[in-house]
Chain A
Amino acid sequence: GEDVEQSLFLSVREGDSSVINCTYTDSSSTYLYWYKQEPGAGLQLLTYIFSNMDMKQDQRLTVLLNKKDKHLSLRIADTQTGDSAIYFCAERPQNTGGFKTIFGAGTRLFVKA
């Protein structure tokens, strides 16, 4: 079945890099996603990567995809206090018609000043 797993907590110091890891099970997903959710807010699409890519960089964000191991990571460079939030990894398996997004449990990132 489909499953996405993430570690639940990560704590870093301001200015350090953060790396949030995710594993997924369904290889039919065309895209894999990272969403950010701040307290009391909706989900913000941060970035996504096409399944035939290894890496995508967007300003402070770097996404790495290891398709063989079904491992996805999000690196945030120069982490700021404003980056404190919950980060959800997600996939959209095409064998569900692409309608369903499978979310991980979310990684809560704490940034210490």
Chain B
Amino acid sequence: DTEVTQTPKHLVMGMTNKKSLKCEQHMGHRAMYWYKQKAKKPPELMFVYSYEKLSINESVPSRFSPECPNSSLLNLHLHALQPEDSALYLCASSQDQTYEQYFGPGTRLTVT
């Protein structure tokens, strides 16, 4: 099983809303990632968790707040987003940082 699941599939939110994106994997992977992907562009790394600790924050604005409640779950809390934050948000996981990453299907986020 190489499945990473993400919910919701689509999300429309206003600039004053608070919402969360969820990601789950049951492969025993110890590294989990959030990426942002704009149309016709490659994914851009946002955050990396390794063994449930935040290892990398790629200078992401504080309106994005990651959380790793346990080794299987990764959340991305959203607050006061801007229309330019509209994108596909992808979660990925890997056994650790030296192994290949497996991606979820993504959450299509639209900020109005």
Contact = CB atoms under 8 A, between A and B. Distances in A.
What class of interface size applies to chain B in its complex with A?
Answer: 20 to 34
A101 B45 contact: yes
A104 B40 CA distance: 12
**Which residue, B40, B48, B101, B104, has most C-beta atoms of chain A within 10 A?**
B101
Contact of A100 (B2, B40, B56, B90): B56
A99 B31 contact: yes
B90 A42 contact: yes
B103 A45 contact: yes
A88 interface: yes
Nearest to A103: B42
Given A40-B108, A98-B97, A45 B102 contact: yes
Interface of B: 2, 4, 6, 31, 40-43, 45, 48, 50, 55-56, 90, 92, 97-98, 100-106, 108
Interface of A: 30-31, 33, 35, 40-45, 48, 88, 92, 94, 97-101, 103-106
